[in-house]
Amino acid sequence: MRDLPREDVAGGVGLTFDDGCESDYTVAFPELVKRGLKATFYVVTSYVGRRGYVQWHHLRELRRYGMEIGSHSATHPCFLDLSPRAMAEELRRSKRTLEDRLGEAVASFSVPFGFVNRQVIAAALAEGFETVCTSQTRLANPQASPRVYGRFAVRRTDSLGHFVGIVARRRPTLWRIALVESGKQAGKRLLGRRVWLAFRRRCLERRG
């Protein structure tokens, strides 16, 4: 993601993985290396070392192969529920931990849960992050917005055709995604953040 603002990557595809799940290392990483691809892995620093999540030596190996490690916060809170002070501390702590452990600057941040506003983005940039990824469903435009990027979520239940449709920017696929996204946004407004997050958590638990 730190390379996305460059003009010579216009029209390319940025691959990102959120949370720092163990499968990022055991499943995605080998496939990326096999194909000569790079990606950004956004990790929740307090999750590193837990069962089911990456270890610090995994992250160092990812870096040796040219993968980017970014912050997905320290504890994965909903940033809209945080005070400015707590927001800054969450950002600062995750960035410092990653930099201390990896021995290099960490330039990219991914907002947890997809709840974001101008204050969240401004706080991340103020803490020294060069790029901010949201869950807003839109194509990246480095010229119009060189530091803040929306993304298209791809889940394990999605088909290969769905993924190809996103990468190839096929209109039917993008239209379907936009329709689903508009429904999700309506649900968030209707239910409110807390109820929506509880509903989302239950859905993810049922998926296993």
Q: Spell out the domains of the chain, with CATH numbers in brackets.
A: 7-151 (3.20.20.370), 157-208 (no CATH)
Report the residue count for the chain: 208
Residue 5: predicted pLDDT: 63
**Comparing 205 with 97, which gets the higher pLDDT?**
97
Going 47 to 116 to 133 to 120, the CA torsion angle's sign is negative
**Quick one: which H or E segment has residue 150?**
none
Q: Give the per-residue pLDDT at 79.
A: 95
- % of the chain residues with pLDDT over 90: 67
CA nearest neighbour of 118 among 142, 147, 143, 140: 147
| pLDDT of 37 | 94
The percent of residues in the chain predicted with pLDDT above 70, rounded, is 91
Helices (H), 10-55: 22-23, 29-35
Residue 160: pLDDT band (50, 70, 90) is very high
> pLDDT tens-digit profile of 45-67?
999 999 999 999 999 999 999 99
- Quick one: tokens of 175? 């239209």
Tokens 């270890």 label which residue? Answer: 55
Query: What Rg, from alpha-carbon coordinates, does the chain have?
Result: 17
Contact 56, 109 (CB under 8 A): no
Output the pTM of the full model: 0.89
